Structure 1
Amino acid sequence: MKVTKLILAGALALAAFAGAPAQAKEWKTVTIALEGAYAPWNLTNPDGTLGGFEPELAKYLCEHAKVECKLITQDWDGMISALNAGKFDIIMDALSITPERKEVIAFTVPYAATPAAFATLKDSPLANLAGTGTTIKLTADVAEQKKAVEALRTALTGKTIGIQAATVYAKFIYDNFGDVATVREYKTSADRDLDVVAGRIDVAFDDGVYLISAFANPDTADLAFTGPEIAGSIWGEGEGLGLRKEDTELKAKFDEAIKSALADGTVKTLSLKWFKVDVAP
């Protein structure tokens, strides 16, 4: 009888607990993960501190959200799973907002939207591919994409294309060129760029503003754009902060902070400083 009463009491307590309203978490400190190696979005300074567009924007966002933020570096590969495992609270690493990613994490409103492009050596036979200097806008429809890039598919048949693994750009390359070219994945974009310079691969494909920064690096200054810039809804809604789905209060705080940064010109000012173009969505 005592055992039965104890079990019943425990069950009632659990039921009462389950029925109680969830307490909103009071966010005072937040840990934000960046790659620290994707200039000019984010980079690691010689003294070990983080610099670039996103760390400077993070400072504004955290002050506006009234939370103390700690910035840490994290390898791109596995960043989303590490977020969901609770190793940090926010991803801020030029993270494109896509339907696939929305299935596993939440996103803030976008704070940037940028095109992607191919790059190769300035004296490469692949320099000045069809469409160089123009921009095309694509949707997520793969059949439409293949039709729009048919000239590029022909030019890159039998070539090797380098991409950073687990990015939206990797999916685009596999979907559109995986059947005609060799695709080589890299842990970091910087490693990939050096292989283009060394002639180990033929072209790179990446975020356009990242590549502009790569062209300014003495080690990769011999690279240049080739072919058209590729923009549009193919890359999702833009780049936003990634959060765990359950952290709705934190998302609301940073949604408001991003909207403020867009409205008062902070995003434009920082993007002109770091990218030389306005990347505000």
Structure 2
Amino acid sequence: MRMLKTVALAATVLATLVGGAVAQDITKVRIGTEGAYPPFNFQDANGELKGFDVDIAKALCAEMKVECEFVVQDWDGIIPALLAGKFDAIIASMSINEERKKSVAFTNKYYNTPPAVAVPKDSPVTGITAEDLKDLAVGAQSSTTHSTYAEQYLTQSDVKLYPTADEYKLDLENGRLDAVVDDVVVLSDWVESEAGACCKIVGTITPVQEIHGEGAGIALRKEDTALQEKFNAAIEAIRQNGTYETINKQYFDFDVYGG
């Protein structure tokens, strides 16, 4: 028994040393993203991943001089998939907040935009408060900061949760919802498109720190500290060398990095 314990301890130490060496010599990073959250991440008609998250990920990998491999993963299972080793990092507009920090580590933010409320164009709703949305059916994507906000703050509304943003958009368009809550950029991109011509944004919500956190960051396994440091350095580098600005201008007419 004593010998077995010694062997086990030696194996653990060796694995730690080897793991540390590998962590310092990262050559490929597998990135998990949803692929269903335009304009941040989505798949085009050919199934190719596009969007701000995707372009930022590619720029970060280039800065780190590593190969990028993308893995499409449903949002609800994206953190469990990271922890199970399906990929090495999540770059999918994931807000940094205390609840998620219990399971994963985060890099510094790479953008920060507020939540908003959208309604049908003929809706009498003109505000975004709990009183404005009282007794109304309000949709949000499940397992997001927006669904958490809706459930905690819109307690007099009939909150309905959806696996993807596309599904709540369809229900709002078809009259099965009175309003939806999501990121202002996501909703703006939609209502300005032909698909979202049915609807309008009535206002932005002041972020609640404990729910919405400090912006969107890259989620990693807690033990992957070397990768976290590399990503943080790369985020700072692309902000400084103009790469971030170039990507930003392809999608937005303002700096989504935020204050």
Pairs within 5 Å for 1:116-155: 116-126=115-125, 128-129=126-127, 152-155=129-132
Residue deviations 1:47-71 (CA, integer Å, cap 9, x gap):
1111111111111100111211111
Counterpart residue number, 1:22: 17
Tell me, yes or no, if structure 1 residue 235 matches structure 2 residue 215: no
**Distance in structure 2 (CA, Å) of the matches to 1:46 and 1:257:** 31
Pairs within 5 Å for 1:136-215: 152-178=129-155, 180-215=156-191
Displacement, 1:16?
Answer: 3.8
CA 1:19 to 1:226, structure 2 compared with 1: closer, same or farther past 3 Å? same
Counterpart residue number, 2:60: 61
Counterpart residue number, 1:85: 84
Does structure 1 retain, via aligned residues, the 8 Å contact 2:34–2:75? yes
**Distance in structure 2 (CA, Å) of the matches to 1:160 and 1:37:** 23
Displacement, 1:266?
Answer: 2.4
Compute the TM-score of the two structures, normalised by the length of structure 2: 0.91
Does structure 1 retain, via aligned residues, the 8 Å contact 2:141–2:165? yes
**Distance in structure 2 (CA, Å) of the matches to 1:223 and 1:15:** 61
Matched residue SS, 1:155: coil
Does structure 2 retain, via aligned residues, the 8 Å contact 1:96–1:236? yes
Displacement, 1:39?
Answer: 0.6
Residue deviations 1:207-260 (CA, integer Å, cap 9, x gap):
010111111331212211113443463521110111111111111111111111
Residue deviations 1:157-196 (CA, integer Å, cap 9, x gap):
1100000000011111111112x11000011111101111
Corresponding residue pairs, total: 252
Counterpart residue number, 2:196: 220
Larger Rg, first or second structure (1 or 2): 1
Structure 1: runs of 5 or more not aligned:
1-6, 131-151
Matched residue SS, 2:217: coil
Displacement, 1:155?
Answer: 2.0
**Distance in structure 1 (CA, Å) of the matches to 2:57 and 2:214:** 20
Counterpart residue number, 1:144: none
Matched residue SS, 2:182: strand
Compute the TM-score of the two structures, normalised by the length of structure 1: 0.84
Does structure 1 retain, via aligned residues, the 8 Å contact 2:114–2:204? no
**Distance in structure 1 (CA, Å) of the matches to 2:237 and 2:8:** 42
**Distance in structure 2 (CA, Å) of the matches to 1:55 and 1:8:** 51
Does structure 1 retain, via aligned residues, the 8 Å contact 2:105–2:220? yes
**Distance in structure 2 (CA, Å) of the matches to 1:124 and 1:190:** 20
The code of the aligned residue for 1:208 comes to V
Does structure 2 retain, via aligned residues, the 8 Å contact 1:262–1:280? no
89-98 vs 265-274, greater mean Cα deviation: 265-274
Does structure 1 retain, via aligned residues, the 8 Å contact 2:27–2:66? yes
Matched residue SS, 2:17: coil
The code of the aligned residue for 1:202 comes to D
The code of the aligned residue for 1:243 comes to L
Does structure 1 retain, via aligned residues, the 8 Å contact 2:184–2:204? no
Residue deviations 1:96-143 (CA, integer Å, cap 9, x gap):
0001100100111110001010001111111x327xxxxxxxxxxxxx
CA 1:12 to 1:197, structure 2 compared with 1: closer, same or farther past 3 Å? closer
CA 1:15 to 1:190, structure 2 compared with 1: closer, same or farther past 3 Å? closer
Does structure 2 retain, via aligned residues, the 8 Å contact 1:111–1:267? no
**Distance in structure 2 (CA, Å) of the matches to 1:215 and 1:273:** 18
Counterpart residue number, 1:94: 93
- Once superposed, what is the RMSD of the aligned Cα atoms? 1.7
The code of the aligned residue for 1:120 comes to V
CA 1:229 to 1:270, structure 2 compared with 1: closer, same or farther past 3 Å? farther
Displacement, 1:18?
Answer: 4.3
The code of the aligned residue for 2:26 comes to W
Does structure 1 retain, via aligned residues, the 8 Å contact 2:130–2:154? yes
CA 1:18 to 1:84, structure 2 compared with 1: closer, same or farther past 3 Å? closer
Does structure 1 retain, via aligned residues, the 8 Å contact 2:137–2:157? yes
**Distance in structure 2 (CA, Å) of the matches to 1:62 and 1:30:** 8
Matched residue SS, 2:62: helix
